[in-house]
């Protein structure tokens, strides 16, 4: 691509030289100088653009080499698969519902451990898929060797499915299924389209094969199930609290009724007490009046008879 660009600019340069030659022959020296300066300026600009483009292409080539080395290196490739899986999981569900590199009771460590609530609902995800034979199969030109590599690739898949089923499905500790994560959509499509029907074979082992696209949908569904479960649990708590509140309201109503009855009784007692007080006041008043009359009588009797006349 870069070679074609350079050839094109060389063609432009030749045309420019031809035009300059024509102007020289016509005797237009000023025009020649202008044409030379303009042409050289344009060439410098184009060469600068070419240099920048070349640097970008070299950078992209370096990235492509690094990416190729990544998939040639088993350790780096496995790390890439794990990190890719972690990014997808982190973007999909709450962190309280997953663990990375969780150790199971059999000492095995899945790349991701989804926790749904109870042990029987936890799901393991494995991302350590071997791509060596797949890569060799697609690069090989010899048909016989290619068939042999295709067989090895098939055996790799079957073994990996078996390993996941035996390692990450534990009665009483995990759900009766596990996920096999394939970080490449291309590899996943080849697995799905393979005549051996690996999807069915995996399902028979309670293993679900997923890719970055399909696991995202699975995790979204998983999150909805979690939310529905939490809402159900919260609704149960709310129902219990409402029932307890109803009992408290009933108890409070009874106590208010009892207090009202007692208040009425006390009011009646106060009324009766007030009546008694009023009667006592009347009797006391009469006694006081009698006492005053007696005193007046005595005063009259003790007065001097002469004063009375």
Give the pLDDT band (50/70/90) at residue 17.
low
pLDDT at 67 over 50: no
pLDDT digits (tens, 9 = 90+) for 71-87: 455 555 556 778 888 99
Residues 6+ apart with CB under 8 A from 177: 123, 169, 206, 207, 208
Do the Cβ atoms of 174 and 168 come closer than 8 Å? yes
C-alpha angle with apex 35: 29 to 37, nearest 5 degrees? 105
State residue 124's pLDDT score.
94
DSSP per-residue codes, 68-88: HHHHH-HHHHHHHHHHHHHHH
Distance CA 100, CA 66 (A): 26
Distance CA 76, CA 140 (A): 23
Distance CA 81, CA 292 (A): 117
Give the pLDDT band (50/70/90) at residue 69.
very low
Give the pLDDT band (50/70/90) at residue 252.
confident
- Read off the pLDDT of each residue in 150-159 and give the average, rounded to a whole number: 88
pTM of the model: 0.55
Beta strands in the chain (DSSP E): 98-100, 112-114, 123-126, 178-181, 207-210
- Read off the pLDDT of each residue in 105-114 and give the average, rounded to a whole number: 92
Distance CA 131, CA 188 (A): 11
Percentage of the chain surpassing pLDDT 90?
16
Give the pLDDT band (50/70/90) at residue 43.
low
State residue 126's pLDDT score.
93
Distance of CA 109 to the CA centre of its chain: 23
pLDDT digits (tens, 9 = 90+) for 262-303: 778 887 777 787 887 778 777 777 776 666 666 566 665 565
State residue 57's pLDDT score.
60
Give the pair of three-digit tokens for residue 2: 């870069």
Task: Give the other-Cβ count within 10 Å of 147's Cβ.
Answer: 12
State residue 70's pLDDT score.
45
Task: Give the other-Cβ count within 10 Å of 92's Cβ.
Answer: 18
pLDDT at 182 over 80: yes
Do the Cβ atoms of 128 and 78 come closer than 8 Å? yes
Give the pLDDT band (50/70/90) at residue 206.
very high
State residue 23's pLDDT score.
54
Distance CA 209, CA 141 (A): 29
State residue 253's pLDDT score.
77
pLDDT digits (tens, 9 = 90+) for 226-242: 777 767 777 777 777 77
State residue 294's pLDDT score.
61
pLDDT at 130 over 60: yes
3-class DSSP assignment, residue 212: helix
Do the Cβ atoms of 166 and 112 come closer than 8 Å? no
Sign of the alpha-carbon torsion through 57, 76, 150, 148: positive
State residue 224's pLDDT score.
80
Nearest partner of 223 among 98, 139, 108, judged by Cα: 98
Do the Cβ atoms of 165 and 178 come closer than 8 Å? yes
From 67-76, 111-120, 164-173, 243-252, the region with the lowest mean pLDDT: 67-76
Helix, strand, coil % in the chain, rounded to nearest 5: 75, 5, 15
Give the pLDDT band (50/70/90) at residue 208.
very high
**206 vs 147, higher pLDDT:** 206
State residue 308's pLDDT score.
45
DSSP H or E run through 251: helix 212-301
Distance CA 130, CA 206 (A): 20
State residue 298's pLDDT score.
60
Distance CA 298, CA 43 (A): 151
DSSP per-residue codes, 196-211: T-HHHHHHHTTEEEE-
């Amino acid at each position: 691509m870069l070679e074609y660009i350079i050839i094109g600019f060389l063609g432009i340069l030749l045309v420019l030289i031809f035009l300059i030659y024509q102007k020289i022959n016509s005797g237009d020296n000023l025009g020649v100088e202008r044409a030379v300066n303009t042409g050289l300026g344009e060439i410098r600009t184009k060469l600068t653009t070419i240099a920048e483009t070349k640097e970008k292409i070299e950078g992209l080539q370096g990235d492509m080499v690094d990416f190729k080395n990544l998939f040639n290196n088993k350790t780096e490739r496995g790390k890439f698969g794990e990190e890719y899986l972690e990014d997808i999981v982190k973007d999909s569900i709450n962190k309280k519902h997953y663990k990375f590199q969780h150790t199971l009771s059999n000492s095995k460590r899945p790349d991701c451990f989804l926790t749904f609530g109870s042990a029987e609902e936890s799901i393991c995800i494995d991302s350590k898929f071997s791509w060596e034979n797949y890569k060799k199969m697609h690069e090989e030109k010899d048909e016989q060797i290619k068939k042999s590599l295709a067989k090895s690739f098939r055996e790799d898949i079957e073994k990996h499915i078996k390993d996941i089923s035996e390692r990450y499905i534990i009665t009483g500790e995990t759900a009766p299924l596990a996920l096999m994560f394939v970080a490449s959509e291309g590899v996943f499509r080849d697995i799905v389209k393979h005549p051996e029907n690996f999807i069915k074979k995996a399902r028979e082992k309670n293993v679900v094969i997923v890719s970055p696209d399909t696991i995202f949908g699975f995790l979204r569904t998983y999150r909805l199930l979690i939310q529905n479960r939490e809402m159900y649990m919260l609704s149960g708590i709310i129902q219990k609290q409402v029932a307890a509140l109803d009992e408290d309201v009933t108890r409070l109503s009874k106590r208010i009724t009892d207090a009202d009855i007692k208040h009425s009784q006390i009011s009646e007692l106060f009324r009766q007490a007030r009546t008694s007080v009023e009667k006592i006041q009347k009797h006391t008043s009469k006694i006081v009046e009698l006492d005053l009359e007696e005193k007046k009588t005595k005063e009259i009797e003790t007065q001097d008879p002469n004063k009375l006349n």
